[in-house]
């Protein structure tokens, strides 16, 4: 199976972002990738205005355009977007929350995974504007079961282990990982750990670091650190990007999943839990 992680920096406008990523998707498809993963917040970057203003359903302009692009290119696309969720009264103000969604579209599939673990950490509260999802999602691509997680989910190993129990051999992770002290080290550790303790190939596509290496290591908020990565089931890094825009293409051997799980049986694939 050949997959791609597209690392780019998106901005405030959904249509402009769609125009930006479309040729990158075509490029990855031309390189032979059948599964193409884009960052969290592909439709609208964090810190670029209210998310609810441009949020749309899976039948909206952004999702529909990527659905058509996936059909034209013969690929499956996973890309971060925002969908309307609910409204809450907070201190006399109405807050329209959204779902932080990974759109999955192509090869007869068109659905979304809503991030279960909202980023309420490091003095930031994603849950103020984003409603947490409740259901795990898997889909099939080229006969391979693929699980989905988003960014902060990667700190919760049981989600990845349960996706593996449900048959996932690959887990994709659209991401907009915050920069700052120790954050790159944590990212590298967590991506390798989740692949290793779930016995899967992990493909994490992140937002590129704004200003790239010039501001690397400085606090950035949840606007991206780059370093998209593909990790094998034994925790070995297959491909890793730098801070700037890049397309990673990896040809992965799915036989490695079974071989690793036989050698290191840390996940009981037969014992799926009640996690929804």
Q: Do 213 and 244 touch, CB atoms closer than 8 A?
A: yes
- Sign, CA dihedral 149-151-154-155, equals negative
Which pairs count as long-range contacts for 132-139, CB under 8 Å and 24+ apart, including other chains? Answer: 133/99, 133/100, 133/101, 134/276, 135/276, 136/162, 136/163, 136/166, 136/275, 136/276, 137/102, 137/104, 137/111, 137/112, 137/113, 138/163, 138/166, 138/167, 138/168, 139/76, 139/104, 139/109, 139/111
Is there a catalytic annotation at residue 40?
A: yes
Which residue in 40, 169, 239, 246 is the catalytic one?
40
Which residue in 126, 141, 151, 246 is the catalytic one?
151
Which residue in 115, 126, 141, 246 is the catalytic one?
115
- Sign, CA dihedral 210-212-216-222, equals positive
Nearest to 260 by CA among 177, 189, 202: 202
Is there a catalytic annotation at residue 115?
A: yes
Cite the active site residues. Answer: 40, 115, 151
């Amino acid at each position: 199976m050949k997959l791609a992680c597209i690392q780019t920096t998106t901005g405030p406008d959904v249509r402009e972002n769609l125009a930006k990523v479309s040729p990158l998707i075509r490029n990855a498809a031309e390189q032979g990738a059948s599964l193409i993963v884009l960052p969290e917040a592909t439709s609208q970057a964090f810190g670029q205005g209210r998310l609810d203003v441009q949020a749309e359903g899976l039948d909206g302009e952004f999702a529909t355009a990527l659905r058509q692009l996936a059909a034209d290119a013969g690929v499956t696309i996973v890309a971060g977007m925002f969908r309307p969720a609910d409204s809450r009264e907070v201190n006399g103000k109405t807050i329209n929350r959204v779902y932080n969604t990974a759109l999955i579209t192509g090869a007869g599939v068109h659905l979304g995974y809503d991030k279960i673990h909202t980023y309420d950490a490091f003095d930031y509260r994603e849950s103020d504007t984003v409603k947490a999802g409740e259901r795990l999602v898997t889909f099939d691509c080229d006969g391979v079961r693929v699980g989905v997680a988003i960014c902060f989910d990667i700190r919760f190993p049981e989600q990845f282990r349960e996706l593996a129990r449900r048959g996932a051999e690959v887990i994709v992770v659209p991401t907009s990982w915050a920069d700052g002290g120790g954050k790159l080290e944590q990212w590298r550790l967590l991506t390798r750990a989740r692949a290793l303790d779930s016995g899967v190939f992990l493909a994490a596509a992140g937002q590129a670091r704004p200003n790239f290496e010039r501001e690397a290591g400085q606090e950035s908020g949840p606007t991206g650190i780059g370093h998209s990565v593909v990790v094998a089931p034994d925790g070995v890094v297959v491909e890793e990007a730098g801070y700037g825009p890049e397309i990673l293409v990896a040809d992965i051997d799915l036989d490695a999943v079974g071989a690793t799980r036989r050698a290191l049986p840390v996940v009981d694939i037969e014992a799926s839990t009640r996690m929804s």
